[in-house]
Structures are given as C-alpha cells and as structure tokens.
Amino acid sequence: MVWGLLGALGAAVCYGGASILQALAAREERTAEGLDPRLLLRLVKSWRYVLGLALDGFAFVLSIAALQTMPLFAVQAIVSSFLAITAVLGAVFLKMPLTRRDKVALGVVISGLVLVGLSAAEDKAVHVSSAQRWGILIAALALAALAVPLGRLKGARGAAALGAVAGLGFGAVAVAARVLPPIGFDTLFSDLGGLLRDPATYALAVAAVVALLSYSTALQRGTVTQATAPLVVGETIAPALVGVVMLGDVPRAGWEWVAVVGFGLAVGGALALAGHGDVAEAGPAEDTRAEVAPTTS
C-alpha cells in the first residue's frame, strides 16, 4: 500500500504541474461558443498544453497503479490535493503569493491526507457484474449528452455547470479504471483483447474526453473558483460513494470516522485553495485572460 500512496501523491504533483501549463494555454485561446471540440484541437497547438497533457497522462498511469492497492475514496482524496500543488507552484513560478488563508488551507489539506492515508485499508480485487460495467458506460454517455446543452450557458453559471460535468467525468474515469483488471507489462498484449471487450474501457475514454473538453471550456466562462470548486466535489465525492456502495471500498476496521474526517478536511482544504488562481491582470486583456486557472484529470 506504500507504493499506492506514493503513486497517488505522484499523480497529484503531476496534475498540479499540468494545471499551471494548461491554464496558461487555455487563457491564450479565444473563447469557445458552446461545447466546441475544436477548442481541444486549437489547444494542442500550444506546447504548454501538450506538455500538460503529457503530465496528465503520466499522472493517470500513477493513479491507476494506486487504485490497484488503495480504496477509491483514498486515491481521489489524495489526487484532489493537486490544488495544493498548484497553489505552491503558482506562488513560485507565477508570482502568485500565498495568503494566510491559503497557508491555512494547505495545512488542512495535509492534515486530511495524513488521516486518509492512516485509515486506508489495503485494497482487494473488485468483482463487478457485466450490467454494472455497462452501467458505467451508460453514465459516461449520459454525461456527454448533458454537457452539450450546459455548454451554451455563459458566465458564472456556465463555468459552474461545466466544472461540475468535468468533475463527474473525472470521477467516472476513476471508477472505470478501478473496475478494469490489473495489467502487467508482461501480459499487456494477451490482456488487450479483454480490455477491448470491456465496456469500462470505453466508459473511461468517453468520460476522459468529456471531462477535458468541459473543463477547458469552463476555464473560459468564469473564475477558477467558479469552475474548479464543483469539479473537486464531483471528482471526489461521487466516485467515493460509488466505491463504498458498489465496489466495497472501506477503511480499516475501527477507522471509519478517521477516514470521514480526513476526507472532509482534504476536500474542504482543496475547495478553499480553488480561488488561489483568481488573479486579475491589468490592461485591456482583462476580459479574456483575467485569471490563471488550474486544470485537473
């Protein structure tokens, strides 16, 4: 389980670095009208966004490795601490100083992560039915359908709505990854056929695209707080509930309240740090590049 903890923490660090790079790229692009897939095509022309995606990909691999040995609620709580990493990196590289509130929130996040780590039991293999696997895919497709009309919302409402969709999308990615069978490098090709027949594989792909596009669009609709706060809630609480109810992810015996308190502190501290990127620039570009906003996966 130690390797799982290190993998989840490594994923948070990578997501934090990716958020800085992708935020800069997203703010340089013209605002998309509705949920426009061409936004991602424009963003991939930016080396910052591509490097951020590469970090996201590496973080995703680390989180999948962590999910092999740790409960879903623990991994998602640790990954949500990417906002703490973003705040620190923003202070160092973007000259966005940490306020007293930010420092307190960082301490809260760290305290929550310690409690989550102490309460997490070593995970066991997950056995889900074919109907449940198809259910994850159907949920991902429903989320994609929901994102289209919400993409037409403007301003703060659009940022919050699309941020929530992105959070649920990233949560669906985590759930799909959790139910997929573990794959080793020595059995990758022999297991490939099974992966291609598994509905959870396609659920993961659909949810990932929906989450990336929704959040990239949300960054152009409002402030970082408006877009990121619902994302953090969606990507942590929803998959944690699914893990407990459907996958049997439970804390160590007798440590249930420690897990609940730690999870609440980690997510609450992350939400408090969601506003760290709300830094306005002077000059005429204020309307289109007013904030540097973190991005997650």
Q: Name the percent of the chain lying above pLDDT 90.
A: 15
Q: What is the mean pLDDT of the chain?
A: 79
Most confident of 35-39, 53-57, 76-80, 191-195: 53-57
Tell me the pLDDT tens digit for each residue of 263-276: 888 888 877 876 66
Coil, helix or strand at residue 179: helix
How many domains in the chain? 1
Please indicate, yes or no, if residue 166 is contained in any of the structural domains: yes
Please indicate, yes or no, if residue 6 is contained in any of the structural domains: yes
Please indicate, yes or no, if residue 297 is contained in any of the structural domains: no
Lowest mean pLDDT among 46-50, 65-69, 125-129: 125-129
Q: Is 179 exposed, middle or buried (0-12, 13-18, 19+ CB in 10 A)?
A: buried
Confidence (pTM): 0.76
At residue 280 the predicted structure's pLDDT band, cuts being 50, 70 and 90, is: very low
Instruction: Name the residue type at position 29.
Output: E
Tell me the pLDDT tens digit for each residue of 165-207: 999 999 999 899 888 876 655 555 556 677 888 899 999 999 9
Contacts of 238 (CB under 8 A, 6+ apart): 167, 168, 171
pLDDT at 25: 76
The CA distance from 205 to 200, in Å, is 9
pLDDT at 149: 92
Cα three-residue angle 59-61-63, rounded to 5 degrees:
70
Range of the domain at 15: 2-287
Coil, helix or strand at residue 251: strand
Encoding tokens for residue 251? 């804390």
Encoding tokens for residue 291? 């904030």
Average pLDDT estimate for 43-67 = 86
Please indicate, yes or no, if residue 120 is contained in any of the structural domains: yes
Please indicate, yes or no, if residue 292 is contained in any of the structural domains: no
pLDDT beyond 50 at 210: yes
How far CA 58 is from CA of 17, 61, 139, 239, 258, in Å, comes to 11, 5, 25, 21, 30
Please indicate, yes or no, if residue 293 is contained in any of the structural domains: no
